[in-house]
Amino acid sequence: MAFFLLHVLLWFLVDYTLLNICQNGPLPFSKFEFLCAWLLRECTSPYLSIKSHMTTTTAWRHKKYRLRWGGTIEEI
């Protein structure tokens, strides 16, 4: 359990540090707000990944597209 908690803490710190470096300055939100958003994103990632693998169609800019073999798309 201690290893898992340390892993999650380091994962959070690396993500926060990377965002701080990419922004090249102070962030417009607090560390607590970042923690809440980060936890939401990481907890919903498995669901979104599974959902995206279950369907071959997607909607973008009021149009529908189908993903075909080979990575090509076609408009429906």
Per-residue pLDDT of the chain (76 residues; tens, 9 = 90+): 999 999 999 999 999 999 999 998 889 999 999 999 999 999 999 998 898 888 888 888 999 999 888 888 889 8
Residues 27 and 35 sit within 8 Å (Cβ to Cβ): no
Secondary element (H or E) of residue 73? strand 73-75
pLDDT at 19: 94
Predicted model pTM = 0.68
